Chain A
């Protein structure tokens, strides 16, 4: 506060408008950033980098995200499986867990598929189960659309988000499963940039 002249104390009136402008702009920025992160994608998957990746299109109406997580034979993976294979009450679902790991902690699968973008239980599926699920989902979607318009086609775009360390055979298997199920549009996700060297 500044000291007023004479014997009395003057009332200092700091100009709050620029400060408020700045604060609200920063607030707006962070709120918007939070919205971008809130995609229906999994953060459990570590994507690789690509120089030629294009920014995501927001115009697609129906999207299906297939997150392909590479299951490394380590304790972090085992902990992650125990965390995600749980029932509604938060207890470990042994049936789900057994698909990926035996009682001794040995992994039975090399890949876990997390499906997002549709109403489905949020636990990982095996490749085999995903394949049959994709076929069923395609047929159900087609039936729903054809009930309204007999000539309607399924326009769902399948977005594949593979771990960078995933082997090509699993990635190809998943693409092939999508094709066999009937999906015609596939997209591969990667982080933009990195000079192709990360």
Chain B
């Protein structure tokens, strides 16, 4: 509390009205608590610019991560691997992943086999449906394939992804997550097979 010097040299106490301030603070607090609606934390992923279909396959001599220093080349990095993702076209699970293929630099396309990984704790509270489990198994298969393939590719950072037009964006993000988990951080997208230019 502040004090004021009195006439006789002593100090008189000046009362500080704290009640209105407390009232206001509690009202504000109540307002914010009632209107507080925490949204999920939003994040971002860097994207390479989309590419033309004919750029999907590169020659061996193009694959050199140190070859380009200018911005354009950095945004459009050469890559050894191209992941092709097919989608379920109709029904309740339309837009889910149906099959995944990985094409290497020589043009050999490998179909990804589903791998069942037993997890100690389920990733989400509710039980996975059959289709969701199949999708998860395919993603685990892709994860295993990329781990293996990474040892043989010269560019260990960049790869291309080509999805069917019907595939949902949430599934594109799952594919991106698997790629990034394996160190492929420069992901560029190819047009869907049915894309009209």
CB distance from A37 to the nearest CB of B (A): 6
Q: Is the interface on chain A under 10, 10 to 19, 20 to 34, or 35 or more residues?
A: 35 or more
B26–A23 touching, CB < 8 Å? yes
Contact with A along B61-87 (1 / 0, CB 8 A): 000000000011001000000000001
Q: Which of B72-117 contact A (CB under 8 A)?
A: 72, 75, 87, 95
**Residues of chain A lying within 8 A (CB to CB) of residue B163:** 168, 172
Q: Which of B11-50 contact A (CB under 8 A)?
A: 18, 22, 25-26, 28-29, 32-33, 36, 38-50
B33–A30 touching, CB < 8 Å? yes
Closest to B191 in A: A172
A169–B192 touching, CB < 8 Å? yes
**Residues of chain B lying within 8 A (CB to CB) of residue A171:** 169, 172
A172–B173 touching, CB < 8 Å? no
Q: Which of A38-93 contact B (CB under 8 A)?
A: 39, 41, 43, 47-57
Chain B residue total in the interface (Cβ 8 A): 54
**Residues of chain A lying within 8 A (CB to CB) of residue B128:** 197
24 contacts between A and B (CB under 8 A): A23-B22, A30-B32, A49-B40, A52-B176, A52-B181, A53-B42, A56-B43, A57-B44, A159-B44, A164-B168, A164-B173, A168-B168, A168-B169, A168-B192, A172-B195, A175-B49, A175-B50, A175-B189, A179-B49, A184-B72, A186-B47, A187-B45, A190-B43, A190-B45
